[in-house]
Amino acid sequence: MNPWHKRANEFIRDPAELLPLISPQPIHRFFEGDCSRLFDRLVMVVGAPGSGKTTLARLLELPTLLAMREFSRRNPDVKALVKSLSDAGVLDDLHPTLQALRLPAGGQLRAIWELPYDERLRHRLLRTMIQAKAVLGWLRQLEDAGVDLSSVKVHTVGVGDAARDDVAADSITKFRDRARVAERAIFKLVGALVPPYEDQLGQQLGDLAYAPFAAIEAFELQDLRPGEGRRLRPMLILDDAHELHPKQIADVDLWLRDREVKIPRWVLTRADSVDLAEFRRALSEEDRPSVPGTQPGRDRLTFMLQDQIGRDRGAFARIAEDVARRYLAPLTVFNRSGTTNLRSVISAAATPELPPGDVREIEADIDKLMRELNVSIDARRVMETAYPQGLSDDVRAGLTRIMLNRELRRTPQRSLFGGAAPDAPEPEEPKRVNRAVATGAELQLLHKYDRPFYYGFERLADAANENIEQFVTLASVLVDNLETQIIRGKTPRIDARTQDKLLREHARNLMAKWDFPYAPRVRKLVNFIAERCLDITLRPSAPLDDGANAYGIPISELTGLNPQEDVARVIQYALAYQALVLIEPYDCKGKTWALLELGGVAIIAHGLPLSRGGFAEGTIAQMRTTMEGI
């Protein structure tokens, strides 16, 4: 399997193949701090596709935790994973304390909603099916680990004899059979060509009175540590909860908040399963309004896998470098050539330079501006002493043109006959020029002269929106090019122009293939924002230094938006699939804004800056008008 093209970790069944691909740094970041609260109440984990939800779930499953004992002896990277999990209490002296089961939410669970029964009964069926599948999955994991099930004891939370008898906790054989009966009863209903009427269910409803989550607390077994009993806390991880019906999600959320449920339980979902207002609350670490009998934070935590406010791009670049190394390792072609560090290969490209003819054209513009402003050669040289170090000649020329255009805007009104104003002040000592202005010059050269901009590892990592899958997807086109070179016997190396061309074409293709809900409208919205940003970025004076890549609306407009309105749904899906990134609150010009920043793929496709903060001002009404007619 080539992980650059098939990253989804649910396809990797063997923990021995999975562990070497998991970077320990995101896991450490997830579990840092007090982790006890992650296992004593409901935890909603919200993330975009590729943010690592399934990887996290797979890591906590019993087969993976057991495989760590062997791998940690010879693999230093797995040792780092072990340390993070030990600090979180998941491992104790390399022995698991938890037994997580990842239960996908699609398929039969979603099909329960389609049954022709009262909504309350369908919710009851779903709860029973989840519990039955969880019990059977936990016992199957123990069997696969070589545990003799006859030696397993089921510990309950101090419930009465009736509750223990209901789940048959005194006999592991009957405990499994009880779960099988409940699962089979619901399976027959879901699989029936014509489900029986509700009043004909009769005895089947008795089989559905099954609630092990409110009774069981731990499994005690002997085989994981010979000669000594050990307890494992069963844990449910409901993955891809967004595949459920919204009303099913709401009921599962309410059910699993119950403090009588003692097992750890996580619900993993994409942002498109919650409305825009709820997504914003999750980003700001606020919980939903409480319902009777529950209290936000106390009964449930909402955890964003990607902290999209104030991202640490430097930290993610290190994670991306580690991921790239791990993903190159399984590929024989790269191993044989000794190519193991993607950063060094793509960052070795020389700084591109424009052809002399293009530079002369820029210099002609500069000469014209200097004559209009009455700027001497000596004054230009003084101005250029304030530029950042290490700029190529073409970028210095582009930067000079920007600085002169800025001076042109600041100079008092000229007469109709031209020439400088008679009382023009003496030039001041030049202030240091921000490197962002030089980046703005590079972007202007990209659009006017096709000078490469998107090259080097740092810009590749910045375009990933702190999403490992997006980084891998973008980088895959460069890895394919390197692989072709190695196969042809060449030294693997990609020059700046080739990197830029490959990434921009790849980004445009990725945008064209968006097929999530509201994708056509999202593309329309993204293109509208990009056009507004390009207008600012390419202005001769570069008023925002390196330019804009976001659309800013007053935060009051976003707060007052009806979550069920079409424009809100479009924004919601754009955020869920990282076509846009929401940054709020953002204070600027004495106002508080909500920024809809373009995702990395859209930024590359449209040739915009990767930095944060530059935005085009607008309103939701303008966005609404843009999306009309689709």
- Same-domain pairing of 118 and 245: yes
Q: Is the dihedral of CA 597, 598, 599, 603 positive or negative?
A: negative
Q: How far is CA 108 from CA 100, 133, 137, 198, 267, in A?
A: 20, 11, 15, 19, 17
> With DSSP H G I counted as helix, E B as strand and the rest as coil, what are the percentages for the chain, rounded to 5?
50, 10, 35
- State which of 410, 428, 449 marks the end of a domain: 449
Q: Strand ranges (DSSP E) for 465-541?
A: none
Confidence check: pLDDT of 16 > 80: no
pTM attached to this predicted model? 0.82
476, part of any domain:
no
pLDDT for the residue 146: 87
Please report, rounded to a whole number, the percentage of residues in the chain having pLDDT higher than 70: 87
- State which of 410, 427, 449 marks the end of a domain: 449
Model confidence pLDDT, tens digit, residues 124-181: 999 999 999 999 999 999 998 888 888 899 888 876 677 778 888 888 999 999 999 8
Model confidence pLDDT, tens digit, residues 292-314: 344 455 677 887 776 533 456 77
- Same-domain pairing of 39 and 187: yes
- Same-domain pairing of 143 and 203: yes
- State which of 304, 332, 348 marks the end of a domain: 304
365, part of any domain:
yes
pLDDT band at 251 (very low <50, low <70, confident <90, very high): very high
Q: Which of 559, 556, 561, 534 is nearest to 615 (CA)?
A: 534
Where in the sequence is the domain holding 431, given as residue range(s)? 356-449
- Same-domain pairing of 362 and 440: yes
Characterize the bridge pairing of strands 42-46 and 580-588: unpaired
Please state the separation of Cα 246 from the chain's center in Å.
22
546, part of any domain:
yes
